[in-house]
Amino acid sequence: MLPRGTSAPDFELYATPDQKLKLSDLKNKKVILAFYPADWSPVCDDQMNLYNEMGKFFSRHNAQVLGISVDSKWSHLAFTDHNKFHFPLLSDFEPKGEVARLYEVYNEKTGECQRALYVIDEAGFIQWSYLSPVGINPGADGILNALEELDNAKTINQ
């Protein structure tokens, strides 16, 4: 995984079948990148639903969640509609895993993203990361702790 303090590589991926989202468009917001192996799998379903429920807590920290997997934009659309997600799922479909490779979380053996989290600050620098075993939901505690630390550091520096 990319280390803390690294400038987060910019990317542009499909967020819907006809709209792309660019990471740099979210400057002045903290960004939570949640890489996950696949739509419709039990652990991924639980993880993404948890982040959907945690949205109001993330927004208190001026943070936006972005889910990323190698599934197609059409799979993401169905998965989002089924679960009523309120955050974008981005399709790292073609070239397959290009963004996951940039963030060093692509699993060549399975052809999927690893279950990995990054918290990026408003200036576009990685401030926290976590690689979870594929079969374990990493939860939201680490993300919330990282967001609180960033807010506390900002308060101290003002």
| Cβ atoms within 10 Å of 126's Cβ, excluding its own | 21
SS3 113: strand
* Cα-based distances in Å from 36 to 62, 106, 110: 22, 10, 12
CA–CA–CA angle 94, 78, 64 (5° rounding): 75
The rounded distance, in Å, linking the Cα atoms of 88 and 76 is 9
Residue 49, H or E segment: helix 42-53
With contact defined as beta carbons under 8 Å apart, do 36 and 44 qualify? yes
Q: Which residues are catalytic?
A: 44
